[in-house]
A and B are shown apart, each in its own frame.
Chain A
């Protein structure tokens, strides 16, 4: 094994009763750049799962491609590292196949809002019970510093050397209007706050988006910790009502001297996709049901053809 990679001590979990925070520790240390915001998101997710008492094998973490999408490799749960932009589609299939799993998608802004934009829109309108954590660093990190869908107008990157002329996507109002039923924004610099947002998202029955400002310390020299720190304002401290649609949109649009973080929008009156699917009513995950059909069903199918 290469010496460049540090092997972490093996997770110590021997029984459910002994679930400890380290139960979620992955086999290898993350290879993110020192200081990357994603470390904080990983720790927050591990803490949230521990505090919720979920067992590692009950959780499936699915990612796309990008720096942040390496996360499933760094956490001790079932994981899938899929294709660029496709994690939500894969997750939808997995969740419908086994709706007893807690399915969490992790990815970045390029992955989720760029190449995966179509799946993002359609997964939200289905209100399937998934948690989507987007580590939003407003830049493409793994491809070494190009403009992303959330890069602000005017930002100079390797692909926009004269400044970005396009408007950024604002994922929060988009999610609120798009049908997500739990929409929150976190910040890597506020880990404890993030843990609470993630716990709420994981327990929410429906599609949850947690967009996390997760600064790229290598390529994004504009939106740094120092830049965010004085600007982020915790909504929970301001008495924001997350059931107020118009206020949620307003807060989602705020940018500049004050940037709200916290739970912007939540509604609990809509059933999730799994709840609407009669096929899942009979109980038990589809994936574990007996295969094949009964003779009676077969005869009925044949009769239709006669």
Chain B
């Protein structure tokens, strides 16, 4: 059980400087070995609006942003007005008392006014530095950690700027020591440095671990972080990174690179994914392995660009016209994103089909601490049956010289997998055709659409999927087998649902268990059916309006859930949303709960 579990909320206008203090705090805590999860609720505005960053820290596992704010740092009046009323006894609020009025705080909330002007000799931009310094003092963190972080951040701007900021921090730190009560909890130092990364960074790093040599994208929130990370590391790692004219170009370019032999990847959000879908079908038809990450945001159309949702499931299931094999996975957290991308590349290479990843803003822009030992860049790389001109590759290269006629790119095999030769290989000339084709790539439309050949090719491609399901881990039931209720979710909600299960037991005496589904296609129909048919009550939790996953589950297993918890306001679930909804449903009040988000960001 965690001894320390607190959350800091920093809010203000976009442009007021929330990301940097957030980053400083995250790194200071992670360097002490504390786990953390950060979520930035923001608007699609470059300056202005309201931005609220929550950093939750614990010496135990942290799987989500949590339910409460213990330390509030409002940088403007708006943030104070919105969030102060949510603080409970034991919490505190630190603010510039010359600029912001506190309003009524609940009993037991420590109100900590900071005379920013006085502490910073009139430099109001330093309010956030002063506030985080005061916070760290109250958490018992030595000043040196903050000094190091500030030095690292401002080094580029010269020694004078470093000294100035360290001075502001010192003033805030000392002021807190003299005037405020320390927190009853401290941020311990566990002597174990953790890494801090966003899901978008984890996606990029997963691609790097998988051996991605070609990355293309069109900037689109919330997936842009992957492009930025890839672009900034491209040269040192020898990766070709392209920003392309549109997502149609992106996916076609990625397919061209993959066809020529690279591991190639792209990431986008729902609208961009919509543009890519024709090309994804082409990858299925010409059997070229590519990986595409859809970082879901609230839709449809341009939707709410800076808000999260799990609303693209049916789009991804239906991506590309026709009927063709593809693999779809919804990783559960940042660490899982990192691990899943190389695994997916191996599957795509082995089965020569597109691989699609359903992430979302919550997981991709969210920050988490990860044990560096879990960032294994030596993941197994399996490129399947591939033939390279330089002799690399896993497949025999039986055709020397120019005996091209013997090579059948789309050979009808029992497994459905045909050895793939990349262009440039002598003796294996073929055409990869998006029209239906024969074993050697010849268009069957050139033969008056031969129905017998069409059927054989459809079946060949489909056969590949018969064994994929044996290569991926089935979902595991977490919690007591004989529970009153089984909570089913998919993708990024795993950590929040897990915490809700724990809270239901600890606080409400309700025994729940959890079945979380990560691999969407292929689907572990047998295992899932077996588990759920034994459940007393099944409740499906998802971040969309219509219950896309509930519908999919029913289509695959015939199981209709007893209850549904759905959220489609753009903000992610918090554990208490699920706890309260489960209570409501177990009491028989409703079969559909739509929790209300208390904080409007």
Contacts and interface: CB of A to CB of B under 8 A. Distances in A.
Interface of A: 1-2, 4-5, 10-11, 13-16, 23, 27-28, 31, 55-58, 60, 62, 65, 70, 72-73, 76-83, 86, 89-98, 100-101, 118-119, 121-122, 277-280, 282, 285-289, 291-293, 295, 297-298, 300-302, 305-306
B430 A78 contact: yes
Q: Report the contact-size class of chain B (Cβ under 8 Å from the partner).
A: 35 or more
Contacts of B433: 72-73, 79-81
B448 A4 contact: yes
Contacts of B248: 86, 89, 118-119
B447 interface: yes
Contacts of B179: none
Contacts, number: 246
Contacts of B201: 305
Contact of B238 (A15, A83, A282): A282
B556 to A, nearest CB: 30
7 contacts: A80-B286, A83-B279, A90-B252, A97-B257, A279-B235, A287-B213, A301-B377
B72 interface: no
A60 B423 contact: yes
A62 B257 CA distance: 13
Contacts of B383: 291
Interface stretch (B261-269, B298-306, B457-465, B493-501): B261-269
Contact of B255 (A60, A93, A295, A302): A93
B404 A279 contact: no
A76 B256 contact: no
B424 interface: yes
Contacts of B405: 10-11, 27
Given A2-B447, A89-B252, A302-B372, 9 more contacts: A23-B402, A28-B442, A57-B423, A287-B260, A291-B213, A292-B209, A305-B201, A306-B194, A306-B372
B261 A78 contact: no
Contacts of A285: 260-261, 424
Interface in B306-321: none
B425 A292 contact: no
Contacts of B238: 279, 282, 286, 289
A100 B424 contact: yes
Interface stretch (B36-44, B103-111, B387-395): B387-395
Interface stretch (B55-63, B239-247, B511-519): B239-247
Contacts of A98: 260-261, 422-424
Nearest to A86: B252
Contact of B446 (A28, A79, A82, A122): A28
Contacts of B443: 70, 73, 81
A97 B423 CA distance: 10
B561 to A, nearest CB: 39
Contacts of B425: 57
Contacts of A81: 431-435, 443
A77 to B, nearest CB: 7
B447 A305 contact: no
A277 to B, nearest CB: 7
B93 interface: no
A101 B423 contact: yes
B145 to A, nearest CB: 13
B401 A97 contact: no
B347 interface: no
A237 to B, nearest CB: 37
Nearest to A287: B261
B208 interface: yes
Contacts of B211: 291-292
B389 A286 contact: no
B343 to A, nearest CB: 14
Interface in B360-381: 370, 372, 375, 377-378, 381
A86 B433 CA distance: 13
Contacts of B392: 288
B252 A292 contact: no
A115 B389 CA distance: 34
Nearest to B281: A83
B240 A279 contact: yes
B253 A92 contact: yes
B573 interface: no
A274 B242 CA distance: 12
Given A57-B426, A83-B279, A288 B389 contact: yes
Smallest CB-CB A-B distances: 8 pairs: A93-B256, A291-B211, A287-B261, A79-B431, A89-B252, A97-B260, A93-B253, A93-B257
A20 to B, nearest CB: 11
B385 interface: no
A119 B423 contact: no
Which residue among B234, B244, B264, B423 has the maximum number of chain A CB atoms within 10 Å of its CB? B423
B490 interface: no
Given A94-B259, A100-B424, A291-B211, A56 B282 contact: no
B196 to A, nearest CB: 6
A2 B429 contact: no
B214 A96 contact: yes
B448 A80 contact: no
Contact of A13 (B264, B402, B423): B402
Nearest to A72: B431
A293 B377 contact: yes
A298 B233 CA distance: 12
A119 B424 contact: no
B596 interface: no
A94 B423 contact: yes
Given A27-B442, A73-B433, A77-B429, A305 B256 contact: no
Given A78-B423, A86-B248, A293-B377, A286 B440 contact: no
A94 B431 contact: no
B213 A97 contact: yes
A93 B442 contact: no
B429 A83 contact: no
B216 interface: yes
A15 B401 contact: yes
A119 B372 CA distance: 41
B289 interface: no
